[in-house]
Structure 1
Amino acid sequence: MILFEHIIFLPLLIFIVPLIYVSHFWRRRGGRILISYKIYRDKPYFRGSLWWNFLAFCAYIILWISLVLMILALANPGIIQKHQIFLKDTSAIIILLDVSPSMAAKDSGQHDSRFEIAKGAIHRFLAHHESNAIGLITFGREAAVRIPLTRDYQFFQQRLDHVWLLEHGDGTNIGMALGLAALQLQRSGAQHKSIILITDGANNIGEFNPEDAIILLQSLGIQAFTVGVGTQEKLRISIWDKKREELLTGFVDDAYDEELMRAIALETGGYFFKSESAGAFDAMFSAIEQQHTQEGLSRTSVTTTSSRYLLLQIALGCVLFWLFMRYLILREVF
């Protein structure tokens, strides 16, 4: 954003057009007599040639530009930049994304897989955030921190694009994912700590069961939002295993454990959502976003950078260029 400190000088720009008309187009301004003469080692120079008239025209354009820049410099334009400074951590959110093979299924009426729909919703969720620190844990048979808590959402989205199915094996280890998320949030200084669990399967592996994870979340004051993805219909899946470099095909007909998902959410103060489409995902993320909206925890710093001296330098350069063109190149007499 550009702001002029002394706008009283801006009306002077109106007089530029009349001055150009009087100097170059008014019939009573006077005229030129085209003559031929020799200078500098008897080389002929004709004032009426097209090339020299073009150079003269360019020189005058540069002169008028310099005058405009001088007027703008008098108005002292400044570029205003706003910076949002966070006074302290507001909220920390860790997203748990299921990357088991069943997430490759495409539910009825959907062109994308459950995994692609979930990733797309996460991308849109990040686009509406400014202050929350967000991290990502992916899980299957095992769980791993793919993105630590960060406010660099561009970095987050770049890393999210490199998440792939089956990277943690075949299985759904919800308990381990919840426990790992709790340990990550325990180190955060945020006032509000939350987990968003996205899965289409039931917990079927792991020594750390979800019930123990619920107790851990309660003790740390961590709120959990759970998202059940997909339906119970039998669907064919096709997925490329990057580790084995082979195409895997099969069928999936199991579904998430709704009772467990509700328990995780309700016992930690969160909510349970059913997301069978991209629109349902967006509505769910919108509701979670409202839960984490905090006011008064950040301030806006405004800085103004004056462009006056830059414009004056450019204007001076234009004047020098004009003098160079008129009296050294075109060889006019003072």
Structure 2
Amino acid sequence: MFYWPWAFLLFLILPVLVFMHARHNANAAIRFSNIDRFKNCPISWRQRFRPVLFWMRILCIALLIVALARPRKGTKIENISTEGAAMIIAVDHSGSMGEPMSYNGQELSRLEVVKQVVADFIKGDGKDYKGRNSDMIGLVTYARFADTQCPLVHGNSIIVDFIKNIHLVEQRQEDGTAIGDGITLAAARLQKCEKQIFDENAKLQSASDKGKKKDPNFKIKSKVIILLTDGMNNTGQYSPIEAAKLAAQWGIKIYTVGIGSEQQGNNGFFNMMMPSLDEDLLNNIASITGGFYARADNADQLRDVYKKIDKLEKTEVKSIGYVDYAEKFPPWAKASLGLLLLEIMASATIFRKIP
């Protein structure tokens, strides 16, 4: 496209210049008393090609007019800014999570059902969940010890792969339910997420737009821990209530989800008595941080809990479109200038006329 297309009206001058040149092409003369001896002189190639100078001047003006119209190429750019949640999924993978639970007509372990539902919650299933495509999501697992399985990342396919690889603890000395440690580790990850985003944006800015400040593409709207357990806190370095208070101090909301029966039963995995679900503790943790507690005795209830969280933690995506233009007039201007210089040099040398 052209920034000043009206400049093409100047092309109307060119036919006028050609007409004037043809009409007033009077040559300078030198007086001779007798020109008979010049009548039979052959016409040289310089004389034949001298009119080229005029057409070079016309072409020079035409190129200059195109440059004046400022040709430029536009590239449509869409800048997407997202305000989403920084979210840690904290999953209990102690031995009691091996207890059976029905899911879509199949008998699976509680942990396998949790993995299925959480994966649908993150990537979307086309029915109940739209997917958390624009959020930063991390994964923490805990039994006797808490571990970071995946730090906060963008891209739901990455986190879903880690979720699929969660397994029950295999050693008896690793079994237990350290709810306080799980909360503390998840909260520590979330507390540092602003710095993580700042560092990512700084790298992108230095790599692409040096010296040009740019708004971050992702802003944290809320910090959330989704804590899932089927037991009570029975080990760990940190108290769950103190960990919840620390999370609240850092502006982190905790949604607690209790799975399974409130009654004690036999845990076939280690042949031990399965601890009861401490609903009072889970309620207190959620209340301290501004979240909520929900109980899920089956897969459908678990899906309903995650649907509720999905509706509460909404993501806002803002799209700003604009066109970035690259100026294309310099080659036209340079060609015009080069042609003008060539015409001047030719008229002063090989096509020089006397007088």
TM superposition score normalised by structure 2: 0.55
SS in 1 for 2:96: helix
SS in 2 for 1:166: coil
Q: 1:278: how far off?
A: 1.5
Q: 1:302: how far off?
A: 10
Task: Name the residue aligned to 1:230.
Answer: 260
- Residue number among 236, 258, 281 corresponding to 2:302 in the alignment: 281
SS in 2 for 1:191: strand
Task: Name the residue aligned to 1:298.
Answer: 318
Paired residue type of 2:114? A
How far apart, CA to CA, are the structure 2 residues paired with 1:156 and 1:167?
23
Q: 1:301: how far off?
A: 6.4
How far apart, CA to CA, are the structure 2 residues paired with 1:85 and 1:111?
47
Q: 1:184: how far off?
A: 0.5
Task: Name the residue aligned to 1:163.
Answer: 166
Q: 1:232: how far off?
A: 3.2
SS in 2 for 1:148: strand
- Residue number among 176, 180, 205 corresponding to 1:175 in the alignment: 180
How big is each residue's C-alpha offset from its partner over 1:174-216, in whole Å with a ceiling of 9 and x where there is no partner? 1111111111001113230000000001111122101211210
Mapped contact 1:105–1:252 kept (Cα < 8 A):
no
How far apart, CA to CA, are the structure 2 residues paired with 1:157 and 1:294?
19
Q: 1:300: how far off?
A: 7.2
Task: Name the residue aligned to 2:192.
Answer: 187
Q: 1:267: how far off?
A: 1.4
How big is each residue's C-alpha offset from its partner over 1:102-125, in whole Å with a ceiling of 9 and x where there is no partner? 000115897111111111110110
Between the aligned residues of both structures, percent identity stands at: 31
Q: How many residues align?
A: 212
How big is each residue's C-alpha offset from its partner over 1:83-134, in whole Å with a ceiling of 9 and x where there is no partner? 9864245211101000100000115897111111111110110122221111
How far apart, CA to CA, are the structure 2 residues paired with 1:201 and 1:286?
23
Q: 1:167: how far off?
A: 5.8
1:196 and 2:226 correspond: yes
In structure 1, list runs of 5 or more residues that go unmatched: 1-82, 240-248, 304-334
Task: Name the residue aligned to 1:123.
Answer: 119
How big is each residue's C-alpha offset from its partner over 1:257-313, in whole Å with a ceiling of 9 and x where there is no partner? 100100011111101010111111111111111111133x4327699xxxxxxxxxx
Q: 1:235: how far off?
A: 4.5
Inter-CA distance 209–84: structure 2 relative to 1 (3 Å threshold): farther
Q: Which has the larger radius of gyration?
A: 2
Paired residue type of 1:172? T
Mapped contact 2:263–2:277 kept (Cα < 8 A):
no
Paired residue type of 2:116? G
How far apart, CA to CA, are the structure 2 residues paired with 1:223 and 1:264?
9
Inter-CA distance 237–221: structure 2 relative to 1 (3 Å threshold): same
Inter-CA distance 153–300: structure 2 relative to 1 (3 Å threshold): farther
Inter-CA distance 84–214: structure 2 relative to 1 (3 Å threshold): farther
Of 189-198 and 164-173, deviating more is 164-173
Task: Name the residue aligned to 1:258.
Answer: 279
How far apart, CA to CA, are the structure 2 residues paired with 1:108 and 1:183?
34
Q: 1:144: how far off?
A: 0.8
How far apart, CA to CA, are the structure 2 residues paired with 1:236 and 1:136?
29
SS in 1 for 2:108: coil
How big is each residue's C-alpha offset from its partner over 1:120-170, in whole Å with a ceiling of 9 and x where there is no partner? 110110122221111110001110110111122111111211111116811
Inter-CA distance 170–298: structure 2 relative to 1 (3 Å threshold): same
